[in-house]
Structure 1
Amino acid sequence: MNPQHRIPDGLLVIAGGGVGTLLRALAAARWPDHAGHFPATVLTINLLGAFILGWLLRELVLTGPDEGWRRELRLGVGTGVMGGFTTYSSFAVQTVSLLRSGLWALALGYLLASLAGGFLCCLAGTMTADRHHRARRARSHREGTI
């Protein structure tokens, strides 16, 4: 893309954030979490977001420098969409809500599932990108297009 026609970074993040927030709101409306119960919807959203973000960022690193369309994709989808889709604030509020309700074990389980699960999902995303990249390179090598 011609540098004179670049979409401003902030606009990419704002537009992506709007899309991500809308997706999260739709998921939360379809599968609402209820007070005093395990917040499965927010956990699922955050774990899915961690996987996608890990995959996306690793895929971008493996395909070239952080410039041009890669930078725009990172900002628009990585920072914007995934930032709007995932929700640390809801995670924190729901954890505190469970604690205030005296549901210590549930709060601890949610906390551990969110933190350890987020790490593991991000790791799985990066490993998936690595496998995809290796398979693509092997296919290109077999086809003689390297």
Structure 2
Amino acid sequence: MTALLVALGGAVGACLRFLTDRWVQARHDTGFPWGTLVVNATGSLLLGLLAGAGLFGIELPVLHPLVGIGLCGALTTYSTFGYESVRLIVDGARLFALLNVLGTVLVGLGAGATGLMIAAAAWS
């Protein structure tokens, strides 16, 4: 049953990643990968919420595999982040590459911490 929940969450997460990335990128006229940054931040926030719930003793046996592993695992994308960073360097957009690397790491950590803080406020 757990594997099916992960697969279902992954299918939804992959589709959300694709659609969100296209929607966000269509609204920006730069080579900066805004769509990937948005999906990675969103996934980090969701995972922070779930982790925070677990820290405060909230049992979510269905949501952890469905959302935590499946949806967040497919929604967020380290491989695309890496590829886009290298592509920016190769294209000569070194400043965008640096901003992408630093921004993604800082925004991801901040979003995860925000999720934990929201969980703490909700369940502590």
Shared fold per TM-score greater than 0.5: yes
CA distance in 1, matches of 2:120, 2:58: 14
> What is the SS of the residue equivalent to 1:31?
helix
Q: Which residue of 2 aligns with 1:109?
A: 99
- Is the 8 Å Cα contact of residues 50 and 121 (structure 1) preserved in structure 2? yes
Percent identity for Structure 1 against Structure 2: 32
Q: 8 Å contact 1:36–1:101 — kept in the other structure?
A: no
Normalized against structure 1, the TM-score is what?
A: 0.77
Which residue does the alignment assign to 1:39?
Answer: 33
Give the conservation status (yes or no) of the 8 Å contact 1:54–1:125. yes
Residues 35, 13 of structure 1: alpha-carbon distance in 2 compared, 3 angstrom cutoff: farther
2:74 equivalent among 84, 88, 96: 84
Secondary structure of the 2:25 match is: coil
Match of 1:142 in 2: none
1:126 counterpart = 2:120? no
- 2-side partners of 1:71 and 1:61: how far apart? 14
Cα displacement (A) at 1:32: 2.8
Structure 1: which 5+ runs fail to align? 1-7, 135-146
1:125 partner amino acid: G
Once residues 80 and 12 of structure 1 are traced to their aligned partners in structure 2, the CA distance between those partners, rounded to angstroms, is 7
Amino acid at match of 2:10: G
Mapped to 2, the partners of 1:35 and 1:99 lie a distance apart of 18
Q: Distance in 2 between matches of 1:64 and 1:23?
A: 26
Going from structure 1 to structure 2, the CA distance change for 1:61 and 1:106 (only over 3 Å counts) comes to: same
Aligned partner letter, 1:62 = F
Q: Out of 54, 59, 75, which is 1:60 matched to?
A: 54
Larger Rg: 1
Q: Any conservation in 2 of the 1:36–1:98 contact (CA below 8 Å)?
A: no
Distance 1:29 1:108 in 2: 22
What do you get for the CA RMSD once the two structures are aligned? Answer: 1.9
Which 4+ residue blocks in structure 1 deviate beyond 4 angstroms? 33-36
